[in-house]
Chains A and B, each alone.
Chain A
């Protein structure tokens, strides 16, 4: 059984601060995806990383996939209240076809004005 350990579980910060969320596993994943979810809605895909060591940037968000494809991180620079939400990492097990996703426990981020 593949497991993804996501930390921290809760994060409460002030506007303008930086933060990092981590996802770690003892298993190798073919891909790693990050989602953001708001209450009462489905998760929305932020990024997919597939190559070990890959770094992707999405405005103030930086995503990194570990060299061994077992871990990933999400870094947010100068957080804003609009970044508030549940962040989920998910690992794919099906090669380029992704297959079933394994989700981390999620990080509830609250950014205070």
Chain B
């Protein structure tokens, strides 16, 4: 149980276009999901907290107009990278936590975004 599915796993897009990444909790409901960015051989950097039915909370330095987050249902959050540039190329990962004590966060398998 406690599976988070992330799609797509890899995407290549042209500069100036937008890309949408989906994060789904398959067997549990998640009122909160988290979006991270990870550079090669580095740790995860939290970008924003996605809240079902309300606005996302962005970390300092993250452009909310560039990284649009929508959490319209209890099982789906989306991250849209708008007007992508090569410097947006990175590994994006989402996570969610099933309710209940002693459950850690479950992470998606990540999305490798390459902007050319």
Contact = CB atoms under 8 A, between A and B. Distances in A.
Contacts, number: 57
Contact of A43 (B41, B44, B112): B44
B105 interface: yes
B102 A100 contact: no
A99 to B, nearest CB: 9
A42 B107 contact: yes
B78 interface: no
B77 to A, nearest CB: 15
A96 B112 CA distance: 32
Given A45-B105, A101-B34, A40 B112 contact: yes
A21 interface: no
B105 A108 contact: no
A106 B45 CA distance: 11
Q: Which bracket fits the contact residues of A?
A: 20 to 34
B106 interface: yes
A106 B40 CA distance: 11
Interface string B32-55: 001000000111111001000000
A50 B102 contact: yes
B104 A48 contact: yes
A105 B93 CA distance: 16
Given A35-B104, A42-B6, 5 more contacts: A47-B104, A50-B101, A98-B97, A98-B105, A101-B105
16 contacts: A35-B104, A35-B107, A41-B110, A42-B108, A43-B107, A45-B104, A45-B106, A48-B102, A48-B103, A98-B97, A98-B105, A100-B49, A101-B34, A105-B43, A106-B41, A106-B42
